[in-house]
A and B are shown apart, each in its own frame.
Chain A
Amino acid sequence: MASISIRKLIKRYGHGAKALQVIHGVDAEIKDGEFVVIVGPSGCGKSTLLRMVAGLEEVSEGEIAIGPRVVNDVEPAERDIAMVFQNYALYPHMTNFENMAYGLKIAKVPKEEIRQRVDKAAKILELTHLLDRKPRQLSGGQRQRVAMGRAIVRQPQVFLFDEPLSNLDAKLRAQTRLEIQKLHNELGITSLFVTHDQVEAMTLAQRMMVMNAGRMEQFGTPEEVYHRPATTFVASFIGSPPMNLIEGRAEGTRFVVGEQRLALPLAAPRDGTLVLGLRPEHAELRADGAWQLVVEAVEMLGAERLVYGRVGQSLFTVRQDAMLEAPRIGDTVAIGVPAAQLHWFDAETRQRL
């Protein structure tokens, strides 16, 4: 078990003038035994970051350290890590047992011990009855478990997961998510988990790294990321449906959006062009309230309801308990705007104020 330090990490493809920089200076300290999720949209660089920690991609600038050791030039096999891939990467011609044992065989671990470790991992993952079969005879979820078994038996310092749940169907995904959580509680090994799914991130992470276009926008616990998003990107990426963001000019307790002047329960941190944020679950439909919403669509989700409409010219979503009365399309309803749930961002830098 070890900590991971990422210092001023930069990744470039190509050289000189035509070089393409895809990771722009990431700094992060991951504690020993922590489960950290790297989350972001496709192409944000999260897999590249993970692969640099694994040693499958070269570092252009900056440092990666596992424990006290800087590993920039260390081969993957020597970093004492294990990785679970999106497509499982199981050796098709070997049995599941042989797949899990392969790394140990290369490390010249005695046969008895190999047997012991594989059996133990198989028991934890409920694979004992499948050890003598080949990967192609297993379902997707089972294969992913074999892949995890392969990682566990190596007893590494760090686990790396590269979107391991993306190829599973929804139900299996939820199930495997729980298994991963259980595994971490039992083994407590430092883990880096990459995903594009914010639900996975929120449920699994002890801390999460939100990435966008090669930059780390926020690194914090799920609570911090949800309640105090550092940028408008984080604010809209985390939480479903996404946070309502309205750009306008703040003047004291008024917020001017186009021709509309919205009343604010509390003055904005400062005047000027700002972005206001309010999550759909924090806006309340009331008999009378600060703002007026013209209802354009209503979606019934079961336990709750989504009401889509416009506040002035801006699109706005409200989440409502399904037990309450539903508004009709075309109605104008009032929304309550609780002061404590308002977020403010600088319109230029998109940073939280």
Chain B
Amino acid sequence: MVERRPLLTLLSHLVLVLGILIVAFPIYLAFVASTHTRDEIVQVPMPITPGSHMVENYTAALTGTGSTQGSAAPVGRMMWVSLVTALVISLGKIAISLLSAFAIVYFRFPFKKLVFWMIFITLMLPVEVRILPTYKVLSDLNMLNTYAGLTVPLIASATATFLFRQFFLTVPDELVEAARIDGAGPMRFFKDVLVPLSQTSIAALFVIQFIYGWNQYLWPLLATTTEDMYPIVIGIKRMIASGDAATDWNIIMATAILAMLPPALVVVLMQKWFVKGLVDTEK
């Protein structure tokens, strides 16, 4: 801040508060809706203060006993599927990318350039451009409706590998030489020195990939057909039946709040690493 301009500061706070209101409003509304009965919400305008049916609604959502015509899948089960998917994708991606980046930076082997470019090209092949054939591969391998089918196709990404590669390139050469003289072989060095030094990158990547895994929509849509394997983001959409009156909006909103909780928790708790990692990754 260069000069003291109290008016401008006031304006800044106002704008930011307004921004937060816009950002938070849908979520607040969802929360309010999740605490009323269906009939209370369906009449316009719906109340904008919380009601008294919170426990009832959330229980119904988690156990799948709502009377909606859309879908009555238990949210608890779907949250579990989402959690497993997100964890497998984030941890798996980190592990695989660490190994690949290590090989690319610290070894020389034939066709290395080819391997590098192959990984790079996957940046240009998001799942959206290969949906039909990838579905077919999954189906041929009998991986539909399995956790493997939900996670493995998404577990190899170039961004994580490049992030680690970039970081490894900044580790001083002498550290490796000292380790070599100390008698450490490559995997020893990887485990004792490289991975501990990469902690910040790993943390940041975990946040980003957990959210990525949790929010996956198109892929699970293709890869699962049975209700008990739906992640929650798909389940929630299916709850919306075609007629507004028939839909249990209050249960749906409860589900929405539940669906938002784990990623929000991860982001808020790991905010420091996440912000640093996000900006550092892309820049």
Contacts and interface: CB of A to CB of B under 8 A. Distances in A.
Interface string A50-82: 000010100000000000000000011100011
Interface stretch (B72-80, B114-122, B192-200, B213-221): B192-200
Given A102-B192, A106-B188, A89 B183 contact: no
Interface stretch (B81-89, B173-181, B201-209): B173-181
B207 to A, nearest CB: 21
Interface in B139-178: 172, 174-175, 177-178
A89 B197 contact: no
A13 interface: no
A103 B177 CA distance: 12
A81 B178 CA distance: 11
Main SS of the interface on chain B?
A: helix
Contacts of A154: 182
Contact of B177 (A85, A90, A92): A85
A28 B196 CA distance: 42
A106 B174 contact: no
Interface string A80-97: 011101111111110000
A81 B196 CA distance: 26
A306 B259 CA distance: 82
Contacts of B179: 91, 102
B184 A106 contact: yes
Size bracket of the A interface:
20 to 34
Contact of A54 (B181, B183, B184, B197): B181
A89 B171 CA distance: 11
Interface in B88-109: none
Given A87-B174, A89-B178, A91-B175, A103 B197 contact: no
Contacts of A170: none
Nearest to B176: A89
Interface in A260-309: none
Contact of A89 (B177, B192, B196): B177
A103 B183 contact: yes
Q: How large is the interface on B (under 10, 10 to 19, 20 to 34, 35 or more residues)?
A: 10 to 19
B174 A89 contact: yes
A107 interface: yes
Contacts of B183: 77, 103, 106-107
A106 B181 CA distance: 11
Contacts of A85: 174, 177-178
Given A93-B197, A102-B192, A106-B188, A81 B181 contact: yes
Contacts of A76: 177, 180-181
Contacts of B192: 91, 102
A77 B197 contact: no
B172 A77 contact: no
A56 to B, nearest CB: 6
Contacts of A102: 179, 182, 184, 192
A103 to B, nearest CB: 4
A75 B188 CA distance: 15
Contacts of A77: 180-184
B196 A83 contact: no
Nearest to A51: B177
A90 B182 CA distance: 12
Nearest to A108: B183
B104 to A, nearest CB: 21
A91 B193 contact: yes
Nearest to B182: A103
A92 B197 contact: yes
A339 to B, nearest CB: 50
B172 A83 contact: no
Nearest to A54: B181
Contacts of A82: 181
B196 A93 contact: yes
B192 to A, nearest CB: 7
Interface string A189-222: 0000000000000000000000000000000000
Interface of A: 54, 56, 75-77, 81-83, 85-93, 102-103, 106-107, 150, 154
Given A93-B196, A154-B182, 11 more contacts: A54-B177, A56-B177, A77-B183, A77-B184, A82-B181, A85-B178, A89-B177, A92-B197, A93-B197, A102-B179, A103-B183
| Top 5 closest pairs, chain A to chain B, by CB | A103-B182, A89-B174, A77-B183, A89-B178, A106-B183
15 contacts: A56-B180, A76-B180, A77-B181, A85-B174, A86-B174, A89-B172, A89-B177, A91-B175, A91-B179, A92-B197, A93-B193, A102-B192, A103-B181, A106-B182, A106-B184
